[in-house]
């Protein structure tokens, strides 16, 4: 993680984890996760448009973890839908340029 990302992570009282390829106990420890939480993240279902959702693990300080789903419906959650529609063979190799096409709908915040 960059220094800024690590600071933001440490200050956050709520974290949402989706499937992370390569998640293991070592990465889990770095993120402050238990081995069970890291294993849950590794087993989450990746989102796809056919199913219409992706699975998440919501972690809230002092409350613990809860599984959940993020809807990928374009009207309900346009950011998730747009991000998952990206296909380099159809949309080109520049992912950020692809996302800029949806600035008005998704209201990305570029820094």
Rounded CA gap, 38 and 12, in Å?
18
pLDDT tens digit string along 15-68? Answer: 888 887 888 888 888 888 888 888 888 899 887 777 878 899 998 887 888 999
**Per-residue CA distances from 21 to 32, 45, 48, 66, 97 (Å):** 17, 11, 15, 20, 24
Number of CB atoms found within 10 A of residue 12's CB: 12
Report, in this order, helix, strand and coil percent for the chain, each rounded to 5. 40, 20, 40
pLDDT tens digit string along 101-111? Answer: 888 888 877 65
């Amino acid at each position: 993680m960059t220094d800024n990302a690590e600071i933001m992570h440490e200050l956050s009282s709520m974290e949402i984890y989706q499937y992370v390829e390569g998640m293991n106990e070592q990465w889990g420890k770095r993120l402050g996760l238990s081995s069970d939480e890291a294993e849950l993240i590794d087993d989450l279902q990746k989102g796809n448009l056919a199913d219409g959702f992706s699975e998440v693990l919501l972690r809230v300080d002092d409350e613990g973890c809860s599984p959940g789903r993020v809807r990928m419906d374009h009207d309900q959650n346009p950011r998730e839908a747009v991000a998952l529609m990206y296909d380099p063979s159809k949309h080109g190799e520049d992912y950020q340029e692809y996302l800029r096409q949806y600035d008005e709908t998704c209201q990305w915040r570029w820094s």
